[in-house]
Amino acid sequence: MKKIFVLILALAAAGCGAGETGSDVLNDVARDAVSDVAADTAGDVAADTAGDVAGDVAADISAEVADDVASDTADDAGPDTGSGWKVPAEEWSSCPQVEYIGSKTLAQKAAYYDWAGMKLHQKPWDAPGHEDYSTVYEINCDADVPTEIVPDGQIPNCVNPLSENTGLWTSLYVASQAFRYATTHEAEALATLKRTLNGTYHQLLITGTPGLYTRDMRDPTLPSQFCVEDEEPYKSAATDNGKYARYVPRPDDTMVGNQFVRVDTDGCFLTWDPALNEGAGGWLRHENYCTDPKFAGFCWQDNASKDEYAGHMFAAGIVAMIVDDADVRAMAVDILRSVAMHMVEHDFMITDYDGRRTRFGSAFALAFDEAPGGNAVMALSWIRMAATVTGDQVLIDTYYDCLLQMSGKLQCIEQPFEWDSPADYTTYFADQGMDLAKGSKSNYDTINIALLNWFNLVWFEPGRDLRDIYRQAFRDNTYGPDREERDLWDQANPFFNFSVVSRMESDDYDQTEVKKLVEDSVCTLKQFPTDNIRRAKDSTVYPEWKVSPRHGSLAESAIPISERCSSVFEWWGDPNSRETCAENLRNAEPPAGYLLPYWMGRYFGFISQDL
């Protein structure tokens, strides 16, 4: 990917190809292809503002964002979207036909989940060295998890099980708190937002590689945390080779399985080599791979995947767009910049600390481990966001000249098929190019990854023409009924519905459709359980309809939300899944499944504060 900009400069100097510099190309694009963006937009983005969009740009950005971009960026506040949804206010339904579950209003339920997210699912706020950062975790406690808000002295002692997706689930929580703070401006909301965003930021720092996330990082000195060797079956292994098996690097580049890395006292990385000490095994130091010594003793998980990154970029983009705290926004901007530059420098492939490509780390369209349209949305979204908040010319050129090919055919991504046949990434949206709505074969991992990326792509795109292309592409790839009469737009999923509705234009929406999407969402949230504690449930009482290759046995219709097993993020699974779960009142999942759609609905004005 580094070659792209050398090529651009060479073409400009020689007067061949497009015969223009990046800024000239943007001028032509603005005039001929994106009529809503004035020709001088690229020149108006200040490259040295660390994410502040200059006042002149605000005049050029479309109505969805323009009115709310601050003309004075000296305070590093960044864009402010103001009062929420840009579609004219409606009398949104309170879903009077559905009773509140447990007699708690939506606001009362949110108050509990916000408390739980802050007090139960983060590392203790007084944990030494962790006072200002934490990710969000599932908990296993030594007593029943409180079902109501209780004083600190009544909170049980809890431990955080290992997870391969700590970054993803934390990021969804971060997004919820960004919407919460932008809605209420409460000090508590800002505090937990800052701490958990910083938790995800530390997931970048610990790897020692710019733009590379870990899946999970652990400080075993904390009572609530442990490393993989202290989890069964490794804890009871008869030999050290068995105990430390998860620290052994993979022998090849297949990258199957997620292994761990330990941080030595000086910050350099340690992995386990079973051949050392005459076959008894030992730690192997990697002098060339190091991080900040403050992480000494930590363990972290490698092989990060695109779903993790989709969550991180979703949250960072929202924070950069709507949060007015300079410190918090600076973190978000640096996340967006770091990841985008990692993509540019590694040809849109997440590349691990040791230079090997991660197993599920492709973000270029023709990787063929994902539908081309899904990866295209991903690449476009990540680069669009970072280009907007940094004003970096390399990222601006990558978006317009490489991904959209607006200056003519340009070889820019050095990957199989892509280098020989560069194409405008929007062409990969056609003919169900995202491959999302597939009846019983629908993969809700893929659907949600696409949704996270698409949401901010539409929000950050300044050109109306491109926004319309992106919006229509997502509708074409999700709106049903599909091949088996399922419809993603008719599953009463508040996270999906609010995401879709909030991306509509003020002069182009169907009032009847939107009102139904909002009402369905409110009805679901009213029936959402009042806590996320593991309770006995059995939805296999509903007859089996089909078997999903990804989600198992499915009922013909969505299982009522109150009858589903507790989940780390409810909307990530198939709503028709038939499942059973045993009661464990000492276990609880993180709260973003309720908090993200609730605070999103509050921010955009779909849910009133007295509901």
pLDDT computed for residue 66 by the predictor:
31
* Residues 362 and 349 sit within 8 Å (Cβ to Cβ): yes
pLDDT computed for residue 7 by the predictor:
38
Whether residue 75 is predicted with pLDDT greater than 80 in this model: the reply is no
605 or 61, which is more confident: 605
Which residues, including other chains, have CB under 8 Å from residue 184's CB and lie 6 or more apart? none
Average predicted confidence (pLDDT) for the chain: 86
β-pairing verdict for 217-218 and 299-301: antiparallel
Burial 45-70 (b: 16+ CB within 10 A, else e): bbeebbbbbbeebbebbbebbeebbb
Whether residue 177 is predicted with pLDDT greater than 90 in this model: the reply is yes
Count of CB atoms situated within 10 Å of the CB of 543: 8
3-state class of 344 per DSSP? helix
CA nearest neighbour of 73 among 400, 286, 324, 380 = 324
Q: How confident is the model at residue 251 (pLDDT cuts 50, 70, 90)?
A: confident
Segment 174-196 mean pLDDT: 97
* Range with the poorest average pLDDT among 89-98, 199-208, 291-300, 420-429: 89-98
Burial 222-248 (b: 16+ CB within 10 A, else e): bebbbbbbeeeebeeeeebbebbbbbb
pLDDT computed for residue 31 by the predictor:
30
pLDDT computed for residue 433 by the predictor:
86
pLDDT computed for residue 493 by the predictor:
97
Which residues, including other chains, have CB under 8 Å from residue 86's CB and lie 6 or more apart? 63, 64, 505, 506
Euclidean distance between CA atoms 249 and 458, whole angstroms: 39
pLDDT computed for residue 87 by the predictor:
63
**Which tokens hold the place of 311?**
């969550």
pLDDT computed for residue 27 by the predictor:
35
Euclidean distance between CA atoms 369 and 376, whole angstroms: 12
Euclidean distance between CA atoms 306 and 180, whole angstroms: 26
Whether residue 38 is predicted with pLDDT greater than 50 in this model: the reply is no
Segment 298-320 mean pLDDT: 97
pLDDT computed for residue 489 by the predictor:
95
pLDDT computed for residue 23 by the predictor:
34
For 541-574, the pLDDT digits (tens) are 999 999 999 999 999 999 999 999 999 999 999 9
Integer angstrom CA distances of residue 87 from 69, 315, 495, 501, 523:
18, 23, 18, 9, 22
pLDDT computed for residue 338 by the predictor:
98
Q: How confident is the model at residue 1 (pLDDT cuts 50, 70, 90)?
A: low
Which stretches within 407-493 are classed as H helix? Answer: 444-460, 464-478
For 506-526, the pLDDT digits (tens) are 778 898 999 999 999 999 999
CA nearest neighbour of 174 among 207, 211, 135, 225 = 135
pLDDT computed for residue 42 by the predictor:
33
Segment 254-267 mean pLDDT: 92
This prediction's pTM = 0.87
Which helix (DSSP H) or strand (DSSP E) does residue 591 occupy? none
Segment 230-238 mean pLDDT: 95
pLDDT computed for residue 255 by the predictor:
79
Which residues, including other chains, have CB under 8 Å from residue 368's CB and lie 6 or more apart? none
